[in-house]
Homo-oligomer: A and B are copies of this chain.
Amino acid sequence: MQSLPAEFLAEALRLAREHARSGGGPFGAVITNGSEIISSGGNQVTRANDPTAHAEIVAIRAACQRLGTFRLDGCVLYASCEPCPMCLAAIYWARIPRVIFAATRADAAQAGFDDAAIYAELARPLAERTVRMEHASVADSAGPFQIWKANARRVDY
Contacts and interface: CB of A to CB of B under 8 A. Distances in A.
Interface string A119-157: 101110000000111111110111111011101011111
Contacts of A19: 144
Contact of A21 (B70, B114, B147): B147
A37 interface: no
Contact of A119 (B86, B122, B155): B122
A53 B101 CA distance: 24
A97 to B, nearest CB: 6
Contacts of A148: 20, 25-26, 111
A118 B98 contact: no
A9 B13 CA distance: 42
Nearest to A117: B92
28 contacts: A5-B136, A10-B138, A20-B147, A20-B151, A23-B153, A26-B144, A26-B148, A46-B70, A49-B69, A49-B70, A50-B65, A81-B144, A84-B89, A84-B93, A85-B88, A86-B90, A91-B131, A92-B121, A99-B131, A99-B132, A100-B133, A101-B133, A101-B134, A102-B135, A102-B137, A102-B141, A119-B122, A123-B123
